Amino acid sequence: MDKLIVSKNIYTVTNGLIDGAIGITGERISYVGPVDDAEPTPDTEVIDLGDQFVMPGLIEGHTHMMPYRRQIDFSGASSLEECQKLIADFHREYPDENPVVGEKWFEANWGGKLPSKETADAVLPDFPFWAGDMEMHRVWMNSAMMKKLNLSKDTIDTFSKGRPQMVAVDDKGEPTGIVRDEVAMDLILSCSVEPDEENIGKMFDVWTHYGVTSINDMDFFTADSPILLITKKLLDKSHLNVRVFSSLDAKLATDDSIEEGKAYMNSDMFRLNALKSFLDGTAAGFTAYMLKPYKDTDCIGASYRTEDELFGFIQLADAHGLATHFHACGDASVRQALHAYQRAAASGIPLTEKNSIEHLDTALLSDVKEAAKLGITLNMTPDFLAPTQKWSDNPYIGIYTDDVENTELFSLGSFINTGINVSFGTDGTASSMNPMDQFYRAVTRRANDGFPLGGFRPEEGISIEKAIYCYTMGSARSIGMSDSLGSIETGKYADISVFDTNLLTAEPADIKKAKATMVISDGRVVFG
C-alpha cells in the first residue's frame, strides 16, 4: 500500500458516507473501510485529513479544451458602457495583446440590447477585438477584426458558407459585428492562441484546482488537432493530470481519421470516445430549433442536420466502436436526436450510455421518457437551468406561453426521475467552470445572484446527493468507465478529490464556497 487516506467524512457515492480510510496501491484503490482494519506497511504514506470531505474525483461530462490565454471576463458587466470600460482597461494593461479577446457577455445583463462593432470601435478602433458570449455560440467583433477576417456586406455568403442567418446584419444589410453558432465557433478556433504545452497544461490546472480528474471533451476536433497532439505529449511525459475522453467532429470524420485518432488516443488516461455533431444553436441566440415559434416572433430557430445525417453519424461511429454526442438545445432538435437513436436501435445498432443528447434546455418530458427506453445519456449544465432574474425577462424564457411556470423549460428533477442516466458538465467557459456553482444551481434552482428568490421552477431541484452522483457516477457511465471511475471502491482508479466543506450537510450558500484542498489523479497527488 503506497498511500492511506484517512478522514471522518469519506463519501463513496455508491456506499454512502463512512468514517474510515482509503488505501492506494499504484494507480488503484486497494482498500476502503475502517482505519483499524487497514494494513499499511512501514513505507505507506499516511495522509490524515481530519474531517475534510473526501469524494471521488469529479468528472466533467461536457466541456471544451481550449488553450489558456488572458481575456476579458464580461460576465459581471451590467451595461454596455461597463463592457467598454473593461475593454479599455484591458488594453491599457496589456497593450501588446493582439487580438484583444473577451468572453461571457450576455445582453440580458444590460437590458437586451446586443453589442455591435460600433460599441467596440468607440474604445478600441485600431486593434482587432472579438469576444464569445456566455454560451460561446455568438461572437462580437469590432471593425478591425472584421477587416482582418474580410467580413463585409459583399462577403457574407462566403464567410457564412451560404447560411446568411449566421451573420447578423442591420436594416441596410451591413454586418453588425455579431456572428453565430458554427461560424462563431470556427472563428473562435481559428483566432485562439496557438496551443503549446504550457498553455494547455494551465488549462488542465484549472480543472484540477476545482477537483476535476476526468473530462468528456466535446470540442469536435479533427484527429490531427494540435491540442490533442499536445495532450498526447503531456501523457507521454507523465504530465497529464486529468483523464481526457475526446470526440471528433462527425461531419468531418472519415474512416481513416477515426482510426488515426484511435491509434494514439487509446488509454484510460486519453481515449477517443465519440463523434460530436451540432443539431442547432442556442435559445439565447434564437437559433435553438423549436417546435413552436419563440414568443412574439415567427422564428423557430435553425435545424443544422437532417435525421438521415444523424443516422449516418451513428452508423459511422458504431462501425469504429465509438458513440455519438448530439448538441440539442431546442425541443425540436431533441426530438430529431431521439428519432435518430430510435432508428438506430430499430436497425440493430446497440446503443449504450456513451451515446448522448447534450443540453436539452427546452426538451419535453414526453421525449425524455422515450429516450430513457433507449439506455442513452442526457448531459446537462445546471448553470443553464437556473436563469438569473434578468434572464427571466428574456423572450425565450416564455417560449410557448406568458406563464413561465407552465413551460417545461430547464427541467432536471423530472428527467432524472425517468431513470435515464444524467451527467453534469460546465460546457467549458460557457458557464462557471467551478462544479460547486453547478451543485448550487442544481439544488436551489437559483443563480449565483440569488435570483429568482424561490428558485426557477423549484420543483425541478434535486438533492445534493443526486447532484454529486451526476457529476461522478453519472458522468463515469456516460464515458463507459463506471467500472473504473465515479465512486470510491476497491479496484477502481484512485481519482479522489478533497474539499474543505462537507457538501452533504452544508447550507446551499456554503456549497458554492467549497474549495478543493487536495486532488489525487491515477494514484498521484496532483494538487494540494
Q: Which range is least confidently modeled, 180-189, 358-367, 420-429, 431-440? A: 180-189
Tell me the C-alpha distance between 264 and 231, whole Å.
10
- Set of cell numbers at residue 411: 427541467
Q: Is 429 helix (H, G, I), strand (E, B) or coil?
A: helix
What is the pLDDT, as a whole number, of residue 399? 47
Q: Pick the residue with more confidence: 114 or 388?
A: 114
CB-based contacts of 139, cutoff 8 Å, min separation 6: 130, 131, 132, 133, 178, 179, 184, 187, 188
CB neighbourhood size of 85 (10 A): 13
The Cβ of residue 403 has, within 10 Å, a number of other Cβ atoms equal to 8
Whether residue 185 has pLDDT greater than 80: no
8 Å CB contact between 148 and 128: yes
Mean pLDDT for 106-130 is 88
* Domain-located, residue 242: no
- For residues 501 and 478, the answer to whether their CB atoms sit within 8 Å is no
DSSP state of 57: P
**Helix-helix angle 226-236:197-209, to 10 degrees:** 80
> Does residue 484 contact residue 19 with C-beta atoms inside 8 Å?
no
* Cβ 467 vs Cβ 424: under 8 Å: yes
The CA distance from 54 to 76, in Å, is 32
Q: Is residue 37 scored above 90 in pLDDT?
A: yes
Rg (CA), the chain: 23
Same domain, 427 and 393: yes
Backbone conformation region of residue 173, classed left if phi is above 0, alpha if psi is from -120 to 50, else beta: left
Comparing 39-48, 172-181, 278-287, the range with the smallest average pLDDT is 278-287
**CA 298 centroid distance within chain:** 30
Region of poorest pLDDT, from 57-61, 71-75, 210-214, 239-243: 71-75
Q: Which three cell numbers stand for residue 487?
A: 465512486
| CATH (domain of 503) | 2.30.40.10
Domain co-membership, 90 together with 29 = no
Q: What is the pLDDT of residue 149?
A: 84
For residues 146-158, give the mean pLDDT.
85
Read off the CATH number of the domain in which 285 is found.
3.20.20.140
For the ranges 61-70, 384-393, 512-521, the one whose mean pLDDT is highest? 512-521
Q: Are 360 and 312 in contact (CB under 8 A)?
A: no
Residues 301 and 449 in one domain: yes
CA atoms within 13 A on the CB side of 250: 26
Determine phi and psi for 99, rounding to 5 degrees.
-80, 165
In a domain, 261, yes or no: no
Residue 333 has pLDDT above 90, yes or no: yes
270 lies in a domain? no
Is 38 found in the same domain as 170?
no
Q: Which domain holds residue 497?
A: 3-57+491-527
Give me 92's grid cell. 491599457
Kindly tell me if the per-residue pLDDT of 386 is higher than 70: no
In this structure, are 337 and 371 located in the same domain?
yes
Tracing cell 460599441 back to the chain, one arrives at 119
Does residue 228 have a pLDDT over 80?
A: yes
DSSP sequence for 311-367: HHHHHHHHHTT-EEEEEE-SHHHHHHHHHHHHHHHHTTPPP-TTSEEEE-TT--HHH
Q: Are residues 285 and 398 in the same domain?
A: yes
The three-state secondary structure class of 280 is coil
Question: Which of 191, 214, 248 is where one domain is finished?
Answer: 191
The CA distances from residue 400 to 91, 281, 287, 364, 403, in Å, are 43, 18, 16, 12, 8
In this prediction, residue 404 carries a pLDDT of 43
The three-point CA angle 249-251-255 to 5° equals 85
- Write down the mean pLDDT value for the chain: 89
Q: Looking at residue 183, which CATH number applies to its domain?
A: 3.10.310.70
Q: What is the DSSP letter of 516?
A: E
Looking at the predicted structure, is the pLDDT value of residue 389 above 60?
no
Segment 259-286 mean pLDDT: 92
User: pLDDT grade, residue 349 (50/70/90)?
Assistant: very high
Q: Sorting pLDDT into bands at 50, 70 and 90, what band is 406?
A: very low
Per-residue cell: 447: 443563480
Least confident of 3-12, 74-83, 270-279, 397-406: 397-406
Work out the angle at residue 357's Cα, subtended by the Cα atoms of residues 356 and 358, and round it to the nearest 5 degrees. Answer: 110
- Do 458 and 341 fall into the same domain? yes
What average pLDDT does the segment 41-50 reach? 97
**Residue among 62, 31, 41, 43 at smallest CA distance from 494:** 31
- pLDDT greater than 80 at residue 387: no
CA-CA distance, 316 to 334, in Å (whole number)?
20
**What is residue 113's predicted lDDT score, i.e. its pLDDT?**
84
> Containing H/E element for 277?
strand 270-278
Domain boundary among 191, 206, 238: 191
Three-class SS of residue 243?
strand
Assess if residue 228 is contained within a domain. Answer: no
Sheet holding 167-169, edge to edge: 72-73, 100-105, 129-133, 138-141, 175-180, 167-169
Residue 65: pLDDT over 70? yes
Does this model's pTM top 0.75? My answer is yes
* pLDDT class of 448 with cuts at 50, 70, 90: confident
* Tens-place pLDDT, residues 290-332: 888 877 778 888 899 999 999 999 999 999 999 999 999 989 9
Residues 29 and 104 in one domain: no
Band (403; pLDDT cuts 50, 70, 90): very low
Does 430 score more than 90 pLDDT? no
Q: Count how many residues are written for the chain.
A: 528
Select, from the ranges 8-22, 143-157, 428-442, the one with the highest average predicted confidence (pLDDT): 8-22
What is the per-residue pLDDT for 68? 62
Q: Do residues 50 and 87 share a domain?
A: no
Range in 16-20, 125-129, 157-161, 233-237 the model is least confident about: 157-161
**pLDDT of 397 above 60:** no
Residue 321 sits in the same domain as residue 178: no
Same domain, 500 and 374: no
For range 340-365, the mean pLDDT: 95
User: Into how many domains does the chain fold?
Assistant: 3
Closest CA to 364 of 427, 475, 302, 290: 290
What cell numbers appear for 123 in the block? 474604445
- The secondary structure of residue 422, as a DSSP letter, is E
* Structural contact between residues 74 and 86, judged by C-beta atoms closer than 8 angstroms: yes
